[in-house]
Amino acid sequence: MNWNLDTDHYEVRFAHEEDIPNIYALLSTKGVVKHHPKSPMVVEAQAMDEARRMVMQFEAKEAAFWLVEEKMTGKVIARIRLQKFNWINASGQLVLDIFPEHKDSAKVAEILYAVLTLAYEDLSLHRVEWHLQESDSGSIELASLMGFQHEGQLNSVLEFEGQWIDYQVYSMLNNDENWQRAIKEQGLPKG
Amino acid sequence: MKFVANVDFNGGQLRPLDKSDVDSIIKLYQKQTLAGQSESASREHAERMVELSVQMAATQRGLMWAIEVDGAMMGMLSLYDWQPTSLKTLMRLDVLPGLSQQLQVDALRSGIDYLAQKYHLRNFSFQCLPEGEGAIVDVIKLAGFEQQARLRDFRRISQTEYSDILVFNLILAQSAEGEK
């Protein structure tokens, strides 16, 4: 199975050793991590540790991480992952870390379509969830535009900096009309 | 060392499981009540649950109480996916037909009060199937739970079929700041 994905404008690929500065650049940016929620990284050693965790979680079949490299510039603009695989219920959870200036519907649609295709076709997942904070209005707008369906709210999932964090639950099923249309049109809606 | 406490409630008590409960556990686990366990219990499975209930409580991953009324085991109140650092847990309630709704509510409330006081848990949730679980849904609503989400096709029930899950939640009114 080929885990590296190729789209018109991006290489959606696994990280390698030379990506530590790319991971650090991404995850030290407040605008990237604030809705997850996480504190931005402050030293590059944290990115090394994160890279190790990415490998370990993949080897344990708990998650898969891709960096999104723009073909034209070679710049890594995002990291996307599928995590919390539940192989019994055929589900997984999507997380997108992306530089705010690249968070537009055309780019996200292209990246997401590649990863969801792998999720449904190669990994045989039935359900992909996307948990988003209500304050992350940009991602909520994108999730709705891409055809994810809002299912409700999970309350007080975790505590971050003294606040309890709620998540809005969005999902896309492999037999959803929106996904079937995306297959037919070979892409998610770009807005 | 005792990892599961006895908790009295009006009309009965929550107590640790023991080996004499095996027959009652088998009766309780003959239907698909709530998410978390789908199979019906065999004797071997029920015996393992008694052992597991101690291990789960010792490691704070879960907990299983027998609901005892007038000396008879009439149900179980269980915790799964107990996350001590996030102060939350997923619950499951199984009852035999003779246990009144009021006693079920009282047992559930007493368990929650105990867990809040002893372990500072504040976020309790139930997952229910949308069909055939009306009686349990009524009980948890009476205990203060509210439906927060309906997760589509969340649970696989056969190779090609899935079921939605209803998520109910009770958050106790304590702030994170207050708990610190």
Q: Show contacts of B79-84: CB within 8 Å, 24+ apart.
A: B79/B115, B80/B36, B82/B56, B82/B121, B84/B60, B84/B119
Number of domains in chain A: 1
Cα–Cα distance for residue pair B130/B116, rounded to 1 Å: 28
The mean of the pLDDT values for chain A is 96
> Is the residue at A190 inside a domain?
no
- Residues 85-144 of chain B with CB under 8 A from chain A are 86-88, 122-123
Shortest Cα–Cα distance, A72 to chain B (Å)? 39
Q: Which range of residues forms the domain containing residue A172?
A: 5-185
Average pLDDT over residues A103-109: 96
Pick from B152, B171, B180: which is nearest to A171 by CB? B152
Q: Distances in Å between the alpha carbon of B106 and those of A91, B88, B125, B152, B174? A: 36, 20, 17, 31, 22
> For helices B134-142 and B101-119, what crossing angle results, to 10°?
50
In this predicted complex, what is the ipTM?
0.93
| Mean of the per-residue pLDDT values of chain B | 89
| Mean pLDDT computed over B106-129 | 95
**Does the pLDDT of residue B177 top 60, yes or no?**
no
- The residues in B 138-157 lying below 8 A from A, measured between CB atoms, are 147-156
Percent of chain A with pLDDT over 90: 95
When the candidates are 3.30.70.1400, 3.40.630.30, 3.90.550.50, 2.40.160.60, the CATH number that belongs to B11-179 is 3.40.630.30
Test the A interface: residue of B120, B145, B156 with most A CBs within 10 Å? B156
pLDDT score recorded for residue B159: 87
Residues of chain B contacting residue A157, judged by C-beta atoms under 8 Å apart = 86, 88
- Best B83, B89, B90, B123 member to test A by mutation, with max A CBs in 10 Å, is B123
Cβ contacts (< 8 Å) between B154 and chain A: which residues? 89, 91, 127
pLDDT tens-digit readout, A5-27: 999 999 999 999 899 999 999 99
Residue A2 clears pLDDT 60, i.e. is over it:
yes
pLDDT in tens, B82-113: 999 999 999 999 999 999 999 999 999 999 99
Give the pLDDT of residue B144: 97
pLDDT-derived band of residue B180, with 50, 70 and 90 as boundaries?
A: very low
The per-residue pLDDT for B36 is 54
- Phi (first) and psi of residue A133, to 5 degrees: -75, 145
Cβ-nearest to B162 among A126, A153, A164: A126
Q: How far is A22 from chain B (nearest CA, A)?
A: 31
The pLDDT confidence band at residue B178, using thresholds 50, 70 and 90, is very low
pLDDT band at A186 (very low <50, low <70, confident <90, very high): very high
Instruction: Identify all chain B residues contacting A152, using CB atoms and an 8 Å cutoff.
Output: 147-151, 167
By Cβ distance, the residue of B151, B156, B167 closest to A88 is B156
User: Is A79 domain-assigned?
Assistant: yes
Give domain status of residue A99, yes or no.
Answer: yes
Mean pLDDT of A99-121: 97
> Which pTM value belongs to this model?
0.91
Residues of B in contact with A165 (CB under 8 A): none
Q: What is the pLDDT of residue B41?
A: 73
CB contact under 8 A, A91 and B123: no
| Interchain CB contact of A161 with B (< 8 Å) | no
Percent of chain B's residues with pLDDT above 70: 91
Q: What is the CATH number of the domain that holds A79?
A: 3.40.630.30
Which of the residue ranges A158-172, B32-46, B71-85, B122-136 would you say has the lowest mean pLDDT? Answer: B32-46
pLDDT greater than 60 at residue A29: yes
Nearest to B86 among A149, A158, A173 (CB): A158
A191 within a domain of the structure (yes/no): no
Of B123, B148, B153, the CB nearest to A153: B148
